Amino acid sequence: MQIFVTLIAFVVAISVLIIFHELGHYLAAKLCNVKVLRFSIGFGKPLWARKYGQDLTEWTVCLLPLGGFVRMLDEREGDVFPEEAHRAFNRQSVWHRIFIVCAGPFSNLILAILIYTSMFIYGVPGVRPVIGYVAPGSIATKINLVPGDVIYSINGHPILTWQSMAVRLTEAAATGHSINLIVSKNKAKTHIVLNSKLLTTVSLDQNLVKQLGIFPPEPFVPGVLGTVEPGSPAAKAGLVAGDKIMAIEGRAFTNWENLVAVVRSEPNKPVQLVVSHGKQTSYATVTPRLIYVHHQKRGWIGVGPLVDPVQVNALRIIEHDTVLTAFIHGISRTTSMSWFTLEMIGKLIIGHAALSNLSGPLTIADYAGQSARMGLIPYMTFLALVSISLGILNLLPIPLLDGGHLLYYMAEIVKGGPVSEKAQLIGQRIGGVLLICLMIFAFYNDINRLFIS
C-alpha cells in the first residue's frame, strides 16, 4: 500500500511540475506569435496524442514521465514554409527568445507562490514556538534560552509556529551572518544575537533547531492506551483501549517514550508488560512486528496513547491569512527559499556543503510518498519546495538546460550576433556529459540513502 501511495504521489507531483513548466514556455511562445508544434509531457513512446487549435499543436503524454518539452517551429530543425518563417523561434528577437526560455522556470516559481498562498489562506497547523526543553551544554544554554521562552521573531520575521521558526533559522544560518532573535521571557521581549557559525549547514538533512538544542513542549502522556489497531501484535496479546501500562520489561513505566524506545528497538523479540485495567492487573507478552520506517528497522505493536486534547490544543496554532497577506507571504516564502536554494548550490560547488545532498527521482518519490501520507499541507509544502528547486536548477548556466540557452543569448547580446552552431554543439555535449554525471551521482545517493544506509 505504501509503495502505491508513493508512486501515485510522485506521478502527480512530477506531472503538475512539468505541466506548469512547459505551459510557461507554451504561453510565452504564443504571446510572441511563435508556432508551437508539440506539447509533450514525458519522453519516449506517446501513450496519448491529440491535435488542437488553429496551429494543430500536438499534445502528447509519453511513457517516461521524468520531464517534458515544447517543440516550436524552427528553421534549424527542419523545413519551414516561407509564409510561416516569421513564426519560427530562430527568427525571433533575442529578447523574445529570452522571454520564452525564462517563462518555464519562472512558472515553477509562480506555482510555488500559488501553493504557499493557498496554504496560508487555508490555514497551516503548527506548534507554538514555545521552548519546552533545552539540552544541557547546548548552544541554547550559551545564549540563555530556557524552557518557557517564546521565539518571537528571527531577523525581523515574525514567528508563529515551530515549523516557521525552523525555516527562518535555516535560511538565516545559510547566509553566514549573525542571527537576531527576539525572545519573549515572562512576556518581556529580549534581543539575543546568535553567531550563525555555531550552526552547521553542510547537510540539508540536519535539523538546525535541534543543533541549537531546543525542543517543543510535549503534553503529558500517561501510559493509557487510546487506540489498539485490530490484528496488531498488541491486539493479539489481548490489549484493549483503556489499558494502562504499569511496567515494561520489569521496569516501572515513567513516560510513553520508554515504551516506544523498547518496542522500536526489539522487533520480533517478546516484550513483557504489566497492564492494569480497572482494578485488575495482569501480565502481557507482546512481540513487536518488524517494519521499516524511512528504511530503518523498527518494532511495531499497533498502539497509540490516550492524550488530553485540552493539552494538545493549548500547544497548537493554525496560521490563517487574508488573501492579500497570504499572497505577500507566498511571495516572501518563495523568494527566501529560492535564495536558500541558490546558496546551497553555491556551497555544493565550492565544497562547503556535502555532495550527499544531491537527490534523484528515487529520493523525490520517497519524500512525495512520506509527505502524502502525512496529509495535504505537508504534501503541498513538498510540492512547492520541489517546484522552486526545479525552477532554480533550470536557470543554471548549463547547456541543455534553460539556463544554458540563456547563456548563449547573453553572449549574443554582448558580441552582437548569434553564437555559432559549432560552439553550441560543443556546449551541448559538455552539458550532456555534466548532466549525465550529476544524474549518476544523484542515483548513487538515492540508492545509498534508501537501500544501504
Residues carrying an active site annotation: 22
- What does R_g of the chain's alpha carbons equal in angstroms? 27
Question: Taking the C-alpha atoms of 108, 110, 114 and 119 in order, what is their torsion angle to the nearest 10 degrees?
Answer: 60
CB 113 within 8 A of CB 98: no
Q: What distances in angstroms separate CA 37 from CA 90, 279, 426, one per listed residue?
A: 14, 78, 26
Looking up cell 513542549 gives 217
Could you tell me which residues are beta bridge partners of residue 157?
154
Amino acid, res. 39: F
State the DSSP H helix or E strand holding residue 137, giving kind and residue range, or none if neither: none
Name every residue whose Cβ is closer than 8 Å to that of residue 324 and which is 6 or more positions away in sequence: none
Name every residue whose Cβ is closer than 8 Å to that of residue 427 and which is 6 or more positions away in sequence: 399, 404, 407, 408
Closest among 123, 133, 116 to 388, alpha carbons compared: 116
End-to-end CA distance of the chain: 23
How many other CB atoms sit within 10 Å of the CB of residue 123? 14
Closest among 76, 222, 90, 216 to 145, alpha carbons compared: 216
Looking up cell 501500562 gives 245
Which cell numbers in the block locate residue 99? Answer: 522571454
- Per-residue b or e along 419-431, where b marks 16 or more CB atoms closer than 10 Å to that residue's CB: eeeeebeebeeeb
Name every residue whose Cβ is closer than 8 Å to that of residue 349 and which is 6 or more positions away in sequence: none
Looking up cell 530556557 gives 146
Task: Tell how far CA 44 is from the center of its chain.
Answer: 28
